[in-house]
């Protein structure tokens, strides 16, 4: 299960390449270019973690293109948003926030979904 630091998801990854200010992280067979934490020292093959906030994860319907697949474990209605605890197929659990709007589709517990994120709003830390 991924740890939560405040309201951030921490997903285990491996460094595939080190670029100027960014890292190519391998997670579940996919590679993402994300910025490295300032002052961090990384090398190819190092363990790392991807840190992404729950509001920066976008839920997608089955069949839509997205890098992560998972299953909704729990959902909680909190007035202006839905909180989803999602078990990713690649292992960890993440928390995703989805704004609640009348008529908007809500995902059921046990339902398969896909998640995506903008790498510009994520950061890589040393594992």
Q: What is the CATH number of the domain that holds 122?
A: 2.40.50.140
Rounded CA gap, 46 and 124, in Å? 11
- Print the domain residue range for 121: 4-126
CB 57 within 8 A of CB 10: no
112: helix, strand or coil: strand
Residue 6: its pLDDT value, please?
Answer: 64
List the chain pLDDT tens, one digit each, 127 residues.
444 456 899 999 999 999 988 999 999 999 999 999 887 789 999 999 999 999 999 998 877 889 999 999 999 999 899 999 999 999 899 999 999 988 888 999 999 999 999 999 999 999 8
Residue 1: its pLDDT value, please?
Answer: 42
What SS3 string covers 26-68? EECCEEEEEEECCCCCCCCCCEEEEEECHHHEEEECCCCCCCE
Q: Is the pTM of this model over 0.75?
A: yes
Residue 127: its pLDDT value, please?
Answer: 87
Sheet (strand 93-99) strand order: 57-60, 112-117, 68-77, 81-88, 93-99
Rounded CA gap, 82 and 63, in Å? 21
4: left (phi over 0), alpha (psi -120 to 50) or beta: beta
Residue 61: its pLDDT value, please?
Answer: 83
Domain total for the chain? 1
């Amino acid at each position: 299960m991924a740890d939560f630091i405040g309201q951030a998801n921490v997903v285990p990854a491996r460094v595939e390449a080190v670029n100027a200010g960014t890292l190519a992280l391998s997670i579940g067979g996919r590679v993402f270019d994300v910025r490295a934490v300032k002052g961090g020292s990384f090398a190819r093959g190092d363990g790392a973690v991807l840190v992404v906030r729950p509001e920066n994860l976008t839920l997608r319907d089955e069949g839509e293109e997205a890098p992560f697949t998972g299953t909704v474990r729990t959902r909680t209605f909190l007035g202006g948003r839905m909180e989803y605890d999602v078990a990713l197929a690649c292992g960890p659990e993440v928390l995703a926030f989805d704004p609640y709007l009348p008529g908007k589709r809500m995902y059921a517990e046990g339902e398969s979904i896909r998640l995506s994120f903008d790498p510009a709003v994520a950061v890589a830390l040393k594992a």
